[in-house]
């Protein structure tokens, strides 16, 4: 068996801990975005293993569902898409260093240029290779990560247009708080972006593809849609913040499941797990699950999270280990092989990504993206 095949959905039968990806829900979310943004192009963001959903299969499905382009964070992710045979436009959204540029050109990946210096590096490398580099220019309108400051953007535009071996495909920026109930800073960022873009009509030039709208902006800032949008977490059925407008109905895509591998009775006063953080206050039944923080089921969920067995909530008992954890089922019943839901629905009960994020004092993005690649993904569809 090829080492990678254990992570393919064709080879998941041996491991009881799996991620289920509901492709029907993903399709519905993409359709909702399409209906909302009209003719604007959609760049589906599939960085960080497609937010935990599996890079290659998710990318293929999103393109099938009508996404026009793909966005990744790093060069390696773009190369993985190309090696898998994906030919759609791919933009690498992160910053680059000089020795990566030839690989961008070799694999026909769109490059983010965030400074005049980077543009010169790209132009020189493309010239040496006898190619043209497809480039998107990054403008910093207030996020403060990468990108030329908005008030200096005209310098970047001018150099890009003069370069002989650069094809200017797009100009973009990124919102810092588009998911917030307070819209003031998002409006300021959009104004800065639009002001910078006035360079093009002033010079009598057509706009390149303009894009700034992420999930939060798609949901509550329709004036930011422009020529292309970059949905991420909303494609996977999770809203980007607790206060964001639910202007598009979303369906959760990911479930995390495992099975009971051990059952025992713990006597009153007996402790279990590392550091003995949980002690039985009466005789009780405890089951062991073959999942832990090495799979991305966070250690911070110890003694906090619930799981679902037979449609009933039961609490995690004791420290979550790297590969195992225990659950107190009280006087309930569970047998070896019984299905356990860590994220998702079982019967009338549901455990959401948002619930686990609150318990970990973090955001849903982190819960999804920290699910390890050793957990196999299974893709489900009724079509």
Q: Is 107 a catalytic residue?
A: no
Instruction: Answer yes or no: is pLDDT of 5 > 80.
Output: no
- C-beta separation of 75 from 105 below 8 A: no
Higher-scoring residue by pLDDT: 1, 53: 53
Burial class for 130, CB neighbours closer than 10 Å (0-12, 13-18, 19+): exposed
pLDDT band at residue 3 under the 50/70/90 scheme: very low
Q: Is 47 a catalytic residue?
A: yes
List, for residues 294-351, the tens digit of each pLDDT value.
999 999 999 999 999 999 999 999 999 999 999 999 999 999 999 999 999 999 999 9
List, for residues 355-371, the tens digit of each pLDDT value.
999 999 999 999 999 99
pLDDT at 4: 42
Check 47, 118, 138, 257 and give the catalytic one.
47
Instruction: Answer yes or no: is pLDDT of 1 > 80.
Output: no
For β-strands 133-140 and 148-149, DSSP reports them as parallel
Check 117, 262, 264, 274 and give the catalytic one.
274
Question: CA-based angle 227:229:231, to the nearest 5?
Answer: 170
List, for residues 275-310, the tens digit of each pLDDT value.
999 999 999 999 999 999 999 999 999 999 999 999
For β-strands 111-113 and 69-72, DSSP reports them as unpaired
Q: Which domains does the chain have, with CATH numbers?
A: 39-236 (3.20.20.10), 254-380 (2.40.37.10)
pLDDT at 10: 53
- C-beta separation of 174 from 190 below 8 A: no
Give the separation between CA 217 and CA 221, rounded to whole angstroms.
5
Q: Say what percent of the chain tops pLDDT 90.
A: 95
List, for residues 172-231, the tens digit of each pLDDT value.
999 999 999 999 999 999 999 999 999 999 999 999 999 999 999 999 999 999 999 999
Instruction: Answer yes or no: is pLDDT of 13 > 80.
Output: no
Question: CA-based angle 314:374:302, to the nearest 5?
Answer: 30
Mean pLDDT of the chain, nearest integer: 95
Q: Backbone dihedral region of 130: left (phi > 0), alpha (psi from -120 to 50 degrees) or beta?
A: left
- C-beta separation of 313 from 306 below 8 A: yes
pLDDT at 110: 98
Instruction: Answer yes or no: is pLDDT of 28 > 90.
Output: yes
Higher-scoring residue by pLDDT: 60, 97: 60
Instruction: Answer yes or no: is pLDDT of 163 > 50.
Output: yes
């Amino acid at each position: 068996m090829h080492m990678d095949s254990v992570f393919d959905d064709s080879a998941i039968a041996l491991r009881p801990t799996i991620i289920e990806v509901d492709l029907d829900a993903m399709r519905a979310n993409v359709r909702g975005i399409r209906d909302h943004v009209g003719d604007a192009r959609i760049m589906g963001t599939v960085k960080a293993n497609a937010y935990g959903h599996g890079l290659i299969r998710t990318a293929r499905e999103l393109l099938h569902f009508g996404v026009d382009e793909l966005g990744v964070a790093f060069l390696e992710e773009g190369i993985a898409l190309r090696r898998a045979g994906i030919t759609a436009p791919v933009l690498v959204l992160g910053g680059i260093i000089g020795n990566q540029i030839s690989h961008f050109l070799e694999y026909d990946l769109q490059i983010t240029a965030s400074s005049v210096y980077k543009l010169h590096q790209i132009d020189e490398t493309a010239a040496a290779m006898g190619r043209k580099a497809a480039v998107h220019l990054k403008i910093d309108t207030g996020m403060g990560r990468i990108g030329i400051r908005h008030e200096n953007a005209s310098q970047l535009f001018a150099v890009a247009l003069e370069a002989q071996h650069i094809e200017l495909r797009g100009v973009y920026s990124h919102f810092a708080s588009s998911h917030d109930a307070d819209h003031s800073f998002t409006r300021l960022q959009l104004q800065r972006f639009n002001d910078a873009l006035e360079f093009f009509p002033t010079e009598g030039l057509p706009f390149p593809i303009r894009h700034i709208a992420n999930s939060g902006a798609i949901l509550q800032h329709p004036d930011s849609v422009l020529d292309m949008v970059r949905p991420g977490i909303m494609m996977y059925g999770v809203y980007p913040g607790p206060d964001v407008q639910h202007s598009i109905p979303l369906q959760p895509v990911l479930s995390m499941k495992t099975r009971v591998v051990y059952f025992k009775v713990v006597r009153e006063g007996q402790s279990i797990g590392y550091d003995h953080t949980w002690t039985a206050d009466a005789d009780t039944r405890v089951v062991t699950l073959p999942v832990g923080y090495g799979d991305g089921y966070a250690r911070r969920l110890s003694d906090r999270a619930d799981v679902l067995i037979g449609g009933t909530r039961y609490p995690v008992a004791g420290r979550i280990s790297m590969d195992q954890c225990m659950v107190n089922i009280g006087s309930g019943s569970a047998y070896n092989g019984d299905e356990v839901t860590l994220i998702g629905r079982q019967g009338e009960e549901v455990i959401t990504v948002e619930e686990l994020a609150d318990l970990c004092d973090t955001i849903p993005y982190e819960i999804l993206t920290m699910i390890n690649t050793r957990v196999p993904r299974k893709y489900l569809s009724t079509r």
